[in-house]
Amino acid sequence: MQKHTKIYVAGHKGMVGSAIWRSLTAKGYTNLIGVSSKELDLKIQQAVKDFFAKQKPEVVIDAAAKVGGILANNDFPYQFLMENMLIQNNLIDAALQSGVEKFIFLGSSCIYPKLAPQPLKEEYLLTDSLEPTNEWYAIAKITGVKACQAIRKQFNKDYVSLMPTNLYGTHDNFDLNSSHVLPAMIRKFHEAKENNNGPVTLWGSGTPMREFLFVDDMAAAVVFALENNLPEYLYNVGTGEDLTIKQLAETIQKITGHQGEIVWDSEKPDGTPRKLMDVSKMHDLGWKHKTQLEEGIQKTYNWFLENIGNYKEVKL
């Protein structure tokens, strides 16, 4: 991989895409392409084809997706299925048709069955039924993984899929209607602290176990995949460590300085009981995360505080 190789980062303004962009820039890559959703609607096939014909990227990193937490996935199943399939299929096919030799597709740990053995191994894909609260997003991502695998098999191109665990970090989404659990907790605990340390109500029982990866570590994994030819089509990316949602809440409560009560609303869904990734394949190749959870949450909270007036990013 040359430093002047033309690399298109789809979704470069999002949390993951912007971290990848920062990581590539820090490593000296000088020919990066990024285009906003206003300039290019990735759901429109002809627009994507025209973009590829004009820009002629040599490498594509697909960090573009419609994402959200349990509530958003549950309320908008069609959009999460169809919009994600349109985005990724247009990117993958345009890359293939325009001769792109290397494509990195980013998915999610939710592609694995709800009750798969723990930790989740890559070979568990499609062995059982999915978690109902986010199966629409999961099915879309599975089709992306399979499309890249098919290209790898049929055309012998270096198209690889990376499946991150739960990501968090700077430039995260803090909108309570669409955010994931960790940024939602940061906002809830912060606002409760500002409101005389009032009680914080959280969904479920607090017993499910989750794994979290700081977004800059995910970006480093993408750069690692970029600079190496990975021998298989699918790799998990995570820490290989998890904790209960209750432990997560207590950690965030401590970091934000909230001193009130935590109330668990057991009427709300818990989601999958446990989602821990087996990351041994990436470890064996030489990649490992660097940021510990408390450090990453502190960095994320600091960013949240610095950007609290930026309504577009934080949506307060």
User: The domain spanning residue 21 has which CATH number?
Assistant: 3.40.50.720
Kind and range of the H or E run holding 91 = helix 77-97
- Dihedral class, residue 226 (left if φ above 0, else alpha if ψ from -120 to 50, else beta): alpha
Map tokens 């500002």 to a residue: 194
| Per-residue model confidence as pLDDT tens digits over 217-268 | 999 999 999 999 999 999 999 999 999 999 999 999 999 999 999 999 999 8
| Per-residue model confidence as pLDDT tens digits over 5-15 | 999 999 999 99
Give the pLDDT of residue 23. 98
- Is residue 137 among the annotated active site residues? yes
Q: Kindly give the pairing relationship between strand 209-210 and strand 274-275.
A: parallel
Strand order in the sheet with 209-210: 243-244, 209-210, 274-275
The residue annotated as part of the active site, out of 29, 137, 168, 233, is 137
Range with lowest mean pLDDT among 14-23, 268-277, 301-310: 268-277
| Calpha distance 162→140 (Å, rounded) | 15
Q: Is residue 1 part of a domain?
A: no
Give the pLDDT of residue 314. 56
Q: Is residue 299 part of a domain?
A: yes
Question: How far apart, in Å, do the first and last CA atoms of the chain sit?
Answer: 41
Tell me what percent of the residues of the chain surpass a pLDDT of 70: 98
- Of 238, 236, 291, 248, which Cα lies nearest the Cα of 112? 236
Give the pLDDT of residue 315. 55
Q: Is residue 159 part of a domain?
A: yes
Q: Is residue 88 part of a domain?
A: yes
Residues belonging to the binding site for substrate are: 188, 203, 210, 270
Query: What pTM, to 2 d.p., does this model score?
Result: 0.92
Give the pLDDT of residue 269. 82
Average pLDDT over residues 169-197: 91
- Given a cut of 60, whether residue 306 has pLDDT beyond it is yes
Rounded-to-10 torsion of CA 217, 89, 111, 71: 90
Question: Which residues have CB under 8 Å from 232's CB, separation 6+?
Answer: 122, 160, 281
Question: What integer best gives the mean pLDDT of the chain?
Answer: 94
Average pLDDT over residues 26-46: 96
Q: How many domains does the chain have?
A: 1
Residues belonging to the binding site for NADP(+) are: 11-17, 106-109, 141, 164-167, 180
Map tokens 């935590």 to a residue: 262
Provide the sign of the torsion angle of the four alpha carbons 197, 172, 116, 225, taken in this order.
negative
Q: Is residue 47 part of a domain?
A: yes
Q: Is residue 2 part of a domain?
A: no
Q: Is residue 122 part of a domain?
A: yes
Q: How many Cβ atoms are within 10 Å of 142's Cβ, its own excluded?
A: 20
Give the pLDDT of residue 175. 85
Q: By residue range, what is the domain housing residue 154?
A: 7-314
| Per-residue model confidence as pLDDT tens digits over 71-125 | 777 788 999 999 999 999 999 999 999 999 999 999 999 899 988 999 999 999 9
